[in-house]
Structure 1
Amino acid sequence: MATPAFEDIAETFEFLPDWEDRYREVIALGKAMEPMPEALKVPATKVTGCASQVWIHPEIAGGTYAFQGDSDASIVRGLIAILKALYTGVPLEEVGKVNAPAEFARLGLDSHLSAQRSNGLKSMIKRIQETAREAA
């Protein structure tokens, strides 16, 4: 179960032949993402378990999930952009059913992220699922 926005990313990644091209695309996605307001970068929105500074601020409206996010690392900012594409617009009760690791594997990112980045990604996914569960 993936959103149309995520499917667009997956389609783009199908045409990128190697990891370096995919890495550049992740960074480009992060650069294209609207910046998170500084006022939202507070301890309550900070994601623990990430080597970089990461903030996720949920925005729940009409029973669907969305969030603003940011990081001080460009690759992590790109991962946040991908997570936004994966989760934005998903009904709250469906957020926990999204298999984010499998979706990232479709992009070929699962085996190329460092252990620290993988752990940080897991922490971001956990935060998203927790905030959706709390809001449901």
Structure 2
Amino acid sequence: MTLSPQAQEALEVFTQAAGWEQRARLLMQWGERLEPLADEQKVEANRVHGCESVVWLVAERQGERWHFKAASDARMIRGLLALLLVRVEGLESQALRELDLNAWFEQLGLGRQLSPSRSNGLNAVLKRMGELA
């Protein structure tokens, strides 16, 4: 599967990071890149259930491809969401449904640091993306 330029950049940056502390700092920085959601988008209908943190997800279809925006109240989750979003940006519905989230975070060197609750939350976000698509 081909990666978008942003996903390729994320992969290069995270695989070059020396250890968890550097990756954690990178996660925070990537979280700051998230496109902000408007207050009217932070509504119950856009909330992803299955996450311990509050996560909102908004989907927009552009032709056959999908564009997502997400927000969270938790800094670490914002970083993980940013990495998820760069991976799914511009995918078609079928590719979105076939995405192996765990493999992506393993490639980034973040697999071991994903607690079961974070992993479940991210999978809930991906599942919601699939439902919207």
Instruction: Give the TM-score normalised by the residue count of structure 1.
Output: 0.92
Query: Is contact 2:34–2:69 with CA below 8 Å preserved after alignment?
Result: no
C-alpha displacement of 1:47: 0.4
Tell me what 2:77 maps to: 76
Q: Which residue of 2 aligns with 1:94?
A: 95
CA distance in 2, matches of 1:100, 1:49: 16
Please name the residue that 1:15 is paired with. Answer: 16
1:14-93 counterparts in 2 under 5 A? 14-93=15-94
What's the offset of the Cα at 1:4?
2.2
Cα distance in 2 for partners of 1:76, 1:44 equals 20
Structure with higher strand content? 2
Unaligned runs of 5+ in 1: none
SS in 1 for 2:10: helix
> Within 1, Cα distance between the matches of 2:132 and 2:35?
21
Cα drift, residue 14 of structure 1: 1.5
Which residues of structure 2 form unaligned runs of 5+?
none
Deviation per CA, 1:67-89: give whole Å up to 9, x if none. Answer: 11100001111111111101111
Structure-2 residue corresponding to 1:106? 107
- The total of aligned residue pairs comes to 132
Give CA deviations for 1:103-135 in whole Å, capped at 9, x if unaligned: 111011111122221111111111112211xxx
User: How does the TM-score come out when normalised to structure 2?
Assistant: 0.94
For 2:112, give the aligned amino acid: S
Question: Could you list the runs of 4 or more consecutive aligned residues of structure 1 that deviate by over 3 angstroms after TM superposition?
Answer: none
Percent identity of the aligned residues?
36
Q: CA RMSD in A?
A: 1.1
User: How far off is 1:40 after superposition?
Assistant: 0.5
How much does 1:92 deviate? Answer: 2.1
Counterpart residue identity of residue 81, structure 1? A
